[in-house]
C-alpha cells in the first residue's frame, strides 16, 4: 500500500487491487471537503449497520488484523464495503469510492460540484498511474 494525500486527507491505496483504506474519520473529512454530509459515514456509525450477505472473502483490518464485516452503502447499485468491527476504518475495493461520491452528489443538490470533480479526477489519475 502507498499513502497519498488529497486536501490534508491521507488515503492508503493498494497498488495491487486498487482498493482504498480510510482510517477512522478520513472518509467523513473527504466528503465534508466536497460539501457533502459525511457524518453518517463515520466508522462508529457504520459499524452498527447490519452485515451484508456476500460470497466475497472477508478482509482483515490493516490496523487490528481482525476480520472485518461487509455492509452495503448507497443505492442502485448498492456498494459493498468492508468495515473494521473496532471502528479502525473502512475498505473500498476498486472504484467503490468514486461510486459512493457520485451517488451522494446526485442526492445532495447543495454539494460543491467543483470539489466533487477534483476528487473524482484525483482518484482517476491515481488509478491510471497505478495500472
Domain-wise residue ranges, the chain = 2-115
Cα–Cα distance measured from residue 60 to residue 83, given in angstroms and rounded to the nearest whole number? 9
Higher per-residue pLDDT: 33 or 19: 19
Structure letter (DSSP) for residue 67: B
Instruction: Give the pLDDT mean for 98-116.
Output: 67
pLDDT in tens, 52-98: 988 888 899 999 999 999 999 877 788 899 999 998 999 999 888 87
Q: Which of 38, 27, 22, 7 is nearest to 111 (CA)?
A: 38
Q: What pLDDT shows up at residue 52?
A: 92
Cα–Cα distance measured from residue 88 to residue 86, given in angstroms and rounded to the nearest whole number? 6
Amino acid at each position: 500500500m502507498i499513502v497519498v494525500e488529497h486536501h490534508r486527507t491521507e488515503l492508503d491505496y493498494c497498488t495491487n487491487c486498487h482498493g482504498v483504506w480510510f482510517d477512522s474519520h478520513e472518509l467523513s473529512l473527504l466528503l465534508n471537503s466536497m460539501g457533502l454530509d459525511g457524518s453518517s459515514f463515520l466508522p462508529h456509525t457504520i459499524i452498527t449497520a447490519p452485515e451484508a450477505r456476500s460470497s466475497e472473502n472477508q478482509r482483515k483490518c490493516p490496523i487490528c488484523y481482525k476480520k472485518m464485516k461487509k455492509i452495503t452503502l448507497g443505492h442502485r447499485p448498492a456498494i459493498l464495503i468492508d468495515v473494521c468491527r473496532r471502528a479502525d476504518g473502512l475498505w473500498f475495493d476498486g472504484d467503490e469510492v468514486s461510486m459512493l461520491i457520485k451517488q451522494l452528489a446526485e442526492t445532495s443538490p447543495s454539494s460543491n460540484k467543483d470539489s466533487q470533480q477534483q476528487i473524482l479526477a484525483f482518484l482517476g489519475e491515481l488509478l491510471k498511474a497505478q495500472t
